[in-house]
Every structure is written in C-alpha cells, then in structure tokens.
Amino acid sequence: MDFQKRLESIKDRIEGNMPPAYLKIMHQATHDLEQSGIQEKVLRVGQKAPAFELINQEGATISSTDLLSKGKLVLTFYRGVWCPYCNADLANLKKYASEIEQSGATLLSISPELPQFLKKIIAMQKLNFDILHDDKNTLADQFGLKFYYPEDLKELYRDKFNINLEVQQGNDEWALPMPARFIIDQEGMIRYAESKPDYRQRPNPDELMDILKSI
C-alpha cells in the first residue's frame, strides 16, 4: 500500500469510531500546537545542529561527533511505540535505510521513550537502525520540537486510551517531540529540515533522499 494511503487508513481506523468528544480534544490540541508558533522555533537549513550523546535501545552511548567524523546524519524524531502513525513512518523509513547508508549517512531515530520500549518497536517492525533515548526531550528541545500536553489531552490519553507517558518516558513531564526529520552534514550544519505539528501527517522521504544524495 502507498505510504500516504497507509496513513489515511490508520486515521480512518482510529478516528472512524471514536466518540466526538475525544476527537474534539485531540483536534483542538493539534490546532493549538499549529497556532502556537512552534514551527518558528524549529532549527532550519543552514543552522548548526546541536551535538549529542544519547544511549540507544541497548544502552550503548551514541555520539553525534563520532558519527559525523565518518559521514552525514539523518535524524527522525519519534513519539513512541503507542503511536501507530509513528510506527508506520519508521516502517516506511526502514525501506530507505540501506540507500541512506550507501549515501554515506547514518540513520537514527530520537525518542523520549525508555530503552525497553524502544527495543519493543525495533523488534515489532524489524528496524535496521537505532533509536536513541532522549531523556525529557532534551535534544528535541534544542531542535525546537518539544511541546507539552494540555491537561484535557493528558487525561484522555491516560484515562481513556490507557497511554501513560510517565510510564513510557520515566518522568512526569507529559512532553513529546513534534515529528520531524533532519539531514546534518559532516560540518554539523543542517541541510534538510521538515516538521509537522499534525502528527497524522508524514512526508514521503523522496525529497530527503534527493538532498542527501546531492551533498
């Protein structure tokens, strides 16, 4: 199935039979995020990317400085194993992983989830790249992506959907990264950047791949 059709199928399945009161809370939170000005804070092409040292799903420390000494980086920010849109996005990105590697880049996903949950999605989707644990969305914040759940959305997720970010992330912040992708060249400069306040919208990686091959 075409990736965009897959996303539409997920949306129809999730929202098709959901109570209108739930949808109202979810859609309002997305609208408010879009109107918050968060997109203006996201790092852009031509800006320096923050360096990082994060642990992967196995607890090993991964350094951006070390990786950039060998090639480029492709980073994709991931909300969590409980998000079907994110999981579909990672599964789709997996198809490009070998091509990304052949272009001289390392593909990494960044998530606030604890390593045990990162291992779960890697096993579920048979992913061929690491997911790094971004404690309290510290790196996401440096990229301009971090946002906090409003109280009504927090209650909806926790009490109705049985999704508790305190358990998933190991803290009580109830914060997430806005879905986003970046290409970082060996000088640490951002050469491609895209982000979406609406978590249901994810682009095909075609433009990313074209830019990656041109660097």
Nearest to residue 115, comparing CAs of 91, 140, 132? 132
| pLDDT tens track for 35-85 | 999 999 999 999 999 999 999 999 999 999 999 999 999 999 999 999 999
Per-residue three-class SS string for 33-85: HHHCCHHHHCCCCCCECCCCEEEECCCCEEEHHHHHCCCEEEEEECCCCCCHH
Instruction: Give the span between the Cα atoms of 131 and 168, in whole angstroms.
Output: 14
Per the DSSP assignment, residues forming a β-bridge with 42 are none
Nearest to residue 72, comparing CAs of 157, 185, 171, 179? 185
Domains of the chain are 3-37+54-214 (3.40.30.10)
Give the three-class secondary structure for 177: strand
Per the DSSP assignment, residues forming a β-bridge with 63 are 53
Instruction: Give the span between the Cα atoms of 140 and 80, in whole angstroms.
Output: 14
Question: Where are the strands (E) in the chain, listed by range?
Answer: 53-56, 61-63, 72-77, 105-111, 130-133, 146-148, 175-177, 180-184, 190-195
> Do the Cβ atoms of 135 and 142 come closer than 8 Å?
no
Nearest to residue 172, comparing CAs of 187, 151, 191? 151
Q: pTM of the predicted model, to two decimals?
A: 0.95
Instruction: Give the span between the Cα atoms of 10 and 16, in whole angstroms.
Output: 10
| pLDDT tens track for 136-192 | 999 999 999 999 999 999 999 999 999 999 999 999 999 999 999 999 999 999 999
